[in-house]
Structure formats: structure tokens, C-alpha cells
């Protein structure tokens, strides 16, 4: 959907619960990558706008792309920047394999949760492609209710994050 920030709520809650180990940047990147598909088809006026990236396979793929991309950026920052911030020290103290696993977890959570949440409201999706056509979950929750719930999740996630800091 074009309202990508609504998807960030669950990620903000996860970040509040595990501030040093949950990669919110990867979670957000996975969600943005998936919705580039919608922007592309909206721009070209072609329906349906939810195609391959709005399937569980597409979501997992974009989650992994985001995970490897953010991991690569982090490793580059650790190696190339001479600034020695607390964040840099934390990242340097963690083995690279663990950093990659953390990034992959956030990317996969972002990708799969995006497809699941979108499938609750978009009738043009085929989330189980290529194994099944159609979207049985579409319309199970009213769009305004879903947006409200996700907005509140994000809001309370920020409050929780600030409170736990």
C-alpha cells in the first residue's frame, strides 16, 4: 500500500523491546522495498498494483535484500568511519555473523509482516503465489480499523522506546 509508514509500528515495538539488537533500519528498508512495486504500478497506471513483491516469497526476498544491504552498509561504516561513537563500539564488539543474523531477522519480520498486513485489506493480492491464487484474508478487517491499530502500535512503540531508554 502507499501508506508504508503504517507498517513501521510493529518494528518500533520490537525496537523498544530489544533496542540494541533489533535492526529497525532493516525492517523499514524491507517495507519500503516492497511498496516500491505499488508506486511503480500506480505511476504507470497499471492494475493490479500488488503483484510479486506482495507475496510471501516476494516479502522474504525483499527482507533478505534489505538485510544484506543494511549489513553491508553497517560493516562499511564500522571499517571506514574514524568516528568512534557508542554505536560503533557496540557494533564492533559483536561478531559479524551475529550482526548478519540480527539484520536477517528484522528483514524477514519486515517482509512477512508487510505481506500479512496488506493481505488483510487488498483484494488484488495473491500472497501465496505461486502455490495458490486469490486472497482469502482480504476484507477481514476494516481498513480504518487496521490503520488505526497500526498507528496506535507505532505511537505506543515510540512511547515504550522512550520510556525503556
DSSP character for 6?
Answer: G
Nearest to 16 by CA among 147, 8, 69: 8
Nearer to Zn ion, 2 or 95 (CB): 2
Site string for Zn ion, 135-164 (x = CB under 5 A): ------------------------------
Binds Zn ion by CB under 5 A, chosen from 118, 126, 135, 150: 118
Question: At its nearest, how many Å lie between Zn ion and the CB of residue 34?
Answer: 5
Binds Zn ion by CB under 5 A, chosen from 1, 30, 104, 109: 1
Residues with Cβ within 8 Å of residue 158, at least 6 apart in sequence? 12, 16
> Cα separation of 118 and 138, whole Å?
8
Of the ranges 33-41, 96-104, 132-140, 148-156, which one interacts with Zn ion (CB under 5 A)?
Answer: 33-41
Phi, psi at 140, each rounded to 5°? -70, -25
Distances (CA, A) of 92 to 17, 55, 76, 77: 22, 35, 11, 10
Nearer to Zn ion, 61 or 99 (CB): 61
Of the ranges 20-28, 75-83, 117-125, 133-141, which one interacts with Zn ion (CB under 5 A)?
Answer: 117-125
Question: At its nearest, how many Å lie between Zn ion and the CB of residue 84?
Answer: 39
Binds Zn ion by CB under 5 A, chosen from 16, 23, 25, 35: 35
Place of cell 507505532: 154
Question: At its nearest, how many Å lie between Zn ion and the CB of residue 59?
Answer: 9
> Cα separation of 110 and 94, whole Å?
22
112 in Cβ contact with 59 (< 8 Å): yes
Binding site for Zn ion (CB under 5 A): 1, 35, 118
Amino acid at each position: 500500500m502507499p501508506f508504508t509508514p503504517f507498517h513501521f509500528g510493529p518494528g518500533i515495538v520490537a525496537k523498544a523491546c530489544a533496542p540494541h539488537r533489533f535492526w529497525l533500519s532493516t525492517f523499514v528498508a524491507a517495507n519500503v522495498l516492497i511498496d516500491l512495486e505499488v508506486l511503480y504500478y500506480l505511476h504507470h497506471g497499471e492494475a493490479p498494483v500488488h503483484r510479486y513483491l506482495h507475496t510471501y516469497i516476494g516479502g522474504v526476498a525483499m527482507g533478505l535484500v534489505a538485510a544484506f544491504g543494511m549489513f553491508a552498509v553497517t560493516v562499511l561504516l564500522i571499517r571506514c568511519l574514524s568516528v568512534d561513537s557508542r554505536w560503533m563500539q557496540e557494533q564492533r564488539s559483536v561478531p559479524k555473523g551475529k550482526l548478519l543474523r540480527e539484520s536477517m531477522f528484522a528483514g524477514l519480520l519486515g517482509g512477512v509482516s508487510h505481506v500479512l498486513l496488506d493481505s488483510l485489506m487488498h483484494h488484488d493480492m495473491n500472497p501465496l503465489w505461486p502455490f495458490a491464487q486469490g486472497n482469502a484474508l482480504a476484507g477481514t478487517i476494516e481498513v480504518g480499523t487496521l490503520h488505526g491499530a497500526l498507528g496506535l502500535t507505532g505511537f505506543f512503540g515510540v512511547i515504550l522506546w522512550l520510556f525503556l531508554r
